[in-house]
Chains A and B, each alone.
Chain A
Amino acid sequence: MDESQDIVHPEVRAHINSLVSALGGFSTFEDGRYVLGDSALEVLRDLKKWIRFYDEKTNRMDVARCLYDANVLEGDLLHILASWPESATDNKFKSRAALACIEILVPMTWPLDRDVEIMTVNHHRHMPVLQLAQINYKRLIINFDAAQILHTAVRTALPSMALPRTERTPRDEGIIKLVLLFLRNIAMIAPPPNVKYDGDESQISRSALLDAFSYQDILLTILTLASNMGEDFNQECVIVMEIIFHLVKRVDVTKLFMEEKELSKTKANELASMMSKEAAMHRPYNRRAPSRHNRWGTMIWMDRGDGKMSVVSGQDALLDAATRQQKMDSAKVFRPPRRARKDEMEPRELGPPVSLNTRARTQLRGFVEDFLDSGFNPLFHLIRKRMEEQREYILEYHYRQFFYLISWFLEAERVRKKASKSSQPTQGESDVRSYNLVASVLNQETFVMLNRSMSDAIEGKRWHELSAAMRCFTQILLTVQDMSESGNEDDEEIADNILNRIFYEEETHDRVAQLARSYKDQDFEYLDACIELTHTYMRVLEAYSKQNTDLQIRSRRRVRKKKKAAKAAGEDGADDIAPDVEDDSENDGAHAERQTKERKFEFARFANRFVTQGVVDTFVSFTKFYHDLNESQLKRAHRYFYRVAFKQEMSVMLFRVDIIHMLYNMIKGPEPLDKGNSTYKEWEELVKQILRKCMRKIEDRPQLIIEMLFSKINATVHYLEFGHEKQTISTS
């Protein structure tokens, strides 16, 4: 590059370069070992000052860019760290040099997510380079052969960590934090979405990271910190949580706990099913592929009734009527104006799914088991308390990670239990009470916080947080359900209590219903979490309310004073008309008064709230992805449609042309569901039944032909379904 057109100020570059060259270098004697410069410590301090007072104060990235160009990490810092061997731990000078290196490494590896709105030209100029630079840093740090860099980093903090908490100075705490942040940064760095890393992926992958963490005893350090949370460590809780989050995010729990043989079998099955899926994808194309060259020029008149004709060209138009119509349709170019839609399947925020190699899998599995055994309760208990206190070091994204991790570890615990049960059925007695291991997130305080977070997230439209919270809630329900079936009396009683507490609040019921109803073009991750929660909640609640027929719920509602007075006369009738009261009292909150009362819970009434158009639409937009859904996801959708059509007898809700179109295409369309799919048979049967019902309804009530075009109005649904008006118990 022409020097006069350097993108950073030439003086800055000159300063940084001279500092870096003063740091040290490879000696020409002594086998080319690295030798520190005479005033290396001061130089490191200067570099730190440059970063702090130039980059951070003025909000630029020039120094970071110069440091990258000067290759300071590979050329100097790593070698300085490496020159502090285990045997020389007491060497004051070397340990200080190491610490100074870490102090530079932390800002160099700091995550580069800036708010797009406050980014300057400078950021746009440097960020793409620096993102790749950081990946490079990560690769160098975790693959450095001459020494264990991460281990060395932890060693710099060890003296401070060894002190009891009361005796630590702010400086000690700072050092611990610094080192943990360094580990966090390393764990966090990943190729940005939509950038293809062109180096060796395996050197920066999660497997490599886990390998390095395990080999350099970092996992042990994390475990130690986590299990002593609340005693020897306090503030560090969120950083430890972040590290764990970046270690386990998007790791498939079920695969993690599989035995080697089972895993290879699963993988083989996966491959086979993928291949059959691909073949199934090609089959329809092959079937209708032209048997002649593409200038053969077939042209067809299509009779469309009323003496009108349409023209379709191409050989495949000869196949059948459906293809002709489809060809006619797909030839149209008009697209209705639409807002940009985000229908990507991958949750961008968490990165792509992770696949681990065998070694990393065993290492992570060991870590997860140890963590569940020792660190889970203290860590999550403390973080929850800190979040309730709203400490200043708790940031917004920590809530998200907190809920994500709870759901991940609860699932891990469940899967682990299942795995251990199936391998040694008699061994169940020895770890009877092990639901204790996750008890800290199954208490009332957590539920309160979860509920509050969910309602806050709904209000603030923070969908990522909300979907993490929904997943967390789902896993809690599943865990409690497992507990209640564990066969242990104590566990069952506890589970019963927990469920009672969860289902006691009507607000919870309302919220789940609201979530299911109000999905509107959020991303797929959210949709999936929402569907999973709805499915699980209804299943668990149904089972529970069947067992406990006298389940009471506390409903809270605003009642106008006047109304209340009027109602005082006819008190006994109040219970039946509960839902009607809300609407008209909503607007005069000033006069409103909170009234709580208990009433009996009826599952049928609750389930009725899930056959509204909103919920049906949510499930329909989920099922539209049927090509990409796995079997359990398809099952959820299947159960729901089955419930709507046959259990609740509201099949009319499904009779809308686009829904019928989707269901039909799932089975008989040009791109049907793979026949090898285990749920295919069930779907075929369900769709057949729904279609049959639909035809019969149309014959019974010809008005349905029109109503099939629209979302149904409440007033007419009942008539269309049953042929008579709803019998309402009128109070007037």
Chain B
Amino acid sequence: RKDVTGLGIDEEVAVAKKARVPNVKLDETRLLSEKGIPRLRRKAGELKFKGKGHEFSDAARLLSFYQLWLDDLFPKARFLDALGMVEKAGHKKFMHMKRVEWINEGKPQSSRP
């Protein structure tokens, strides 16, 4: 179009900002999802320790177990950072409830209340 005002400056330009993609967080929903703690519990069965005399190699195995699990759960953060986030999420009320639940599941069902 060749107008007097054809420079296009009169036309409105939409400047509405696109909403940013929300940051992915390592919070309790993620932690309680299928890839989170349920998976950790499942995988824990595969973990075998050699026992006495192999303390350090066992510890290395344990640490790498956690590291791989966290890398699957929340790939973008480093191990120690991710641990901090998980720890923080553990203070939530709902998590507390869940944790007590998990512990009670493992308790021997004794006669004492």
Q: Which residues of A contact B (CB under 8 A)?
A: 304-305, 308, 321-322, 325, 328-330, 332, 334-336, 656-658, 660-661, 664, 667-668, 688, 691-692, 694-695, 698-699, 701-703, 705-711, 713, 715-716, 719-720, 725
CB pair B55 A688 closer than 8 Å: yes
Closest to A708 in B: B66
Of A330, A695, A716, which is in contact with the most chain B CB atoms at under 10 Å from its CB? A695
CB pair A711 B41 closer than 8 Å: no
**CB within 8 Å for A691 and B99 given contacts A305-B68, A336-B81, A702-B106:** no
Interface pairs (7), CB distance under 8 Å: A321-B60, A657-B63, A657-B66, A664-B56, A703-B103, A703-B105, A725-B112
Of A656, A694, A701, A709, which is in contact with the most chain B CB atoms at under 10 Å from its CB? A709
Q: How far in angstroms is the closest Cβ of chain B from A157?
A: 59
Number of interface residues of B (CB under 8 A): 46
CB pair B55 A702 closer than 8 Å: no
Q: A336-B84, A664-B56 are in contact. List 5 more A-B contacts (CB 8 A).
A: A325-B68, A336-B77, A658-B87, A703-B105, A709-B86
Instruction: List chain B residues, Cβ under 8 A from A701.
Output: 106
Contact with A along B70-86 (1 / 0, CB 8 A): 01100111111101111
Distance A703 CA – B67 CA, assembled complex (angstroms)? 18
Instruction: List chain B residues, Cβ under 8 A from A692.
Output: 52, 55
B33 within 8 A of A: no
CB pair B64 A321 closer than 8 Å: yes
CB pair B78 A332 closer than 8 Å: yes
**CB within 8 Å for A719 and B59 given contacts A304-B68, A325-B64, A710-B90:** no
CB pair B105 A711 closer than 8 Å: no
CB pair A695 B49 closer than 8 Å: yes
CB pair B106 A664 closer than 8 Å: no
Distance A332 CA – B52 CA, assembled complex (angstroms)? 35
Chain B 46-64 residues near chain A, CB threshold 8 A: 46-47, 49, 51-52, 55-56, 58-60, 62-64
Closest to B51 in A: A695
Q: Which 6 A-B pairs have CB atoms at the shortest separation, nearest pair first? A: A710-B90, A691-B55, A703-B106, A334-B76, A705-B44, A691-B59
Q: How far in angstroms is the closest Cβ of chain B from A661?
A: 6
Of B37, B59, B83, B102, which is in contact with the most chain A CB atoms at under 10 Å from its CB? B59
Distance A719 CA – B107 CA, assembled complex (angstroms)? 9
CB pair B90 A711 closer than 8 Å: yes
CB-contact partner of B103 in A335, A707, A708, under 8 A: A707
Closest to A658 in B: B83
Q: How far in angstroms is the closest Cβ of chain B from A324?
A: 9
Instruction: List chain A residues, Cβ under 8 A from B84.
Output: 336, 658
Closest to B110 in A: A724
Instruction: List chain A residues, Cβ under 8 A from B76.
Output: 332, 334
**CB within 8 Å for A713 and B106 given contacts A658-B84, A668-B60, A692-B52:** no
CB pair A661 B102 closer than 8 Å: no
Q: How far in angstroms is the closest Cβ of chain A from B35?
A: 11
Distance A719 CA – B103 CA, assembled complex (angstroms)? 9
Closest to A668 in B: B56
CB pair B63 A664 closer than 8 Å: yes
**CB within 8 Å for A706 and B102 given contacts A329-B78, A657-B83, A664-B59:** yes
CB pair A661 B55 closer than 8 Å: no
Instruction: List chain B residues, Cβ under 8 A from A657.
Output: 63, 66, 83
CB pair B100 A716 closer than 8 Å: yes
CB-contact partner of B41 in A330, A660, A691, A706, under 8 A: A706
Instruction: List chain A residues, Cβ under 8 A from B51.
Output: 695
CB-contact partner of A710 in B67, B87, B107, under 8 A: B87
